[in-house]
Amino acid sequence: MTDAKPVVLLAPAPQKRDRIFTPEALARLRAAFTVVDLEDTPGEAVLEQYLPDAFAVVGQPDLDAGRLERARSLRAVVNVEGNFFPNVDYRAAFAQGVRVLGCGSAYSQAVAEFSLGLALDLARGISGQDGAMRAGTEQYVGGSSSDAVLLHRSSVGILGYGNLGRSFHRLLQPFHATVRIHDPWLPDAVIEDTGAQAAGLEETLRTSRFLFVFATATADNAHLLDGDALDLLPDGARVVLVSRAAVVDYDALLDRLRAGRFLAAIDVWPEEPLPATSPFRDLPNVVLSPHRAGGIPQAFHSIGDMVVDDLVLMSRGLPPVRLQAAAPELVERYRNKPVT
């Protein structure tokens, strides 16, 4: 390389470069680094050509131990999709001193606000009554509110207290709810310091008028919410699913929703797009959403800003502060699927 600037390989797929980088952020990146843009020049050959000189890889290409061994200048792998996939040899990366960074926190505020909106919809039937008015079947004043409830001073359960759970918890403060949080990766003191109650899964489910599922998918929690777990929920509970579909047994969920046991708002699905023939589409007690809680322009653009800020810091010999560092003890336990 004739240019003394550090080399950054930009391979954001399935993200798009211009979705996550504003023109200003991209200009900052190119001013500070020699950017090899694999979106413009895709292919394994280009990746292999520049990998030995790369300071950072921004994106999700396959990085096995052999590739990492050849990438002797590499200091950072930045996932900009939002999930850590098993296509990177994380042990080899950590052993080589490569930081593995993620952008998950960029989505947290957007998901939190969307979750609050879904909860209020479930509490008051907002979208359902919109549909009734369009069909000419509305009932006025209290005629359509017999099953309405307040989020205010309600009993709320939160499953998972990472970026999403913490951002949502802050939005709950004005509602003065009783909040129980279940997260087996955190000591009780961390949760209790926020003013919430640390609780086991069974207690959280049994006591929740509103249940928010923010847990990530791991090797340990597939179908955490199976039929037996869902049966613990009180009749008439409101369930908001905005995290990972693998955490829920959707067949069991469908059975309970058909029986009218509770209401749900669902943003994530085991198969996406949701098939046109899915029976979930016919349920009146479900608010449907096509995996859109976090994917708004402000969230996407914040990813590019975070990437540039942290790579510039690292090029100056300083640690990253905006992106989230993957924990060596946890990253191989994630079982998230790419968002298409």
Q: What pLDDT score does 141 carry? A: 87
Check whether residue 126 and residue 213 sit in a common domain: yes
CATH code where residue 84 lies? 3.40.50.720
In a domain, 340, yes or no: no
- 79 phi and psi angles, rounded to 5 deg: -80, 120
Number of domain units in the chain: 2
Check whether residue 170 and residue 209 sit in a common domain: yes
Q: Under 8 Å CB-to-CB from 245, ≥6 apart: which residues?
A: 217, 268, 269, 270
Token pair of 206, please? Answer: 């049994």
Check whether residue 157 and residue 50 sit in a common domain: no
Check whether residue 150 and residue 236 sit in a common domain: yes
In a domain, 2, yes or no: no
In a domain, 131, yes or no: yes
Check whether residue 142 and residue 278 sit in a common domain: yes
In a domain, 51, yes or no: yes
Q: What pLDDT score does 1 carry? A: 45
Check whether residue 140 and residue 282 sit in a common domain: yes
Check whether residue 229 and residue 319 sit in a common domain: no
Check whether residue 191 and residue 93 sit in a common domain: no
Q: What pLDDT score does 218 carry? A: 86
Rounded Cα distance, 247 and 81, in Å: 20
Rounded Cα distance, 28 and 32, in Å: 6
Alpha carbons within 13 A on the beta-carbon side of 200: 4
What's the pTM?
0.93
- Domain of 304 in residue numbering reads as 7-103+297-333
Check whether residue 85 and residue 176 sit in a common domain: no
Q: What pLDDT score does 219 carry? A: 82
In a domain, 339, yes or no: no
In a domain, 138, yes or no: yes
Number of CB atoms found within 10 A of residue 66's CB? 10
Check whether residue 156 and residue 280 sit in a common domain: yes
Q: Identify which of 287, 252, 245, 300 has the alpha carbon closest to the alpha carbon of residue 269.
A: 245
Check whether residue 118 and residue 259 sit in a common domain: yes
Q: What pLDDT score does 19 carry? A: 97
Check whether residue 150 and residue 249 sit in a common domain: yes
In a domain, 11, yes or no: yes
In a domain, 210, yes or no: yes
Question: Which residues in the chain show pLDDT less than 50?
Answer: 1
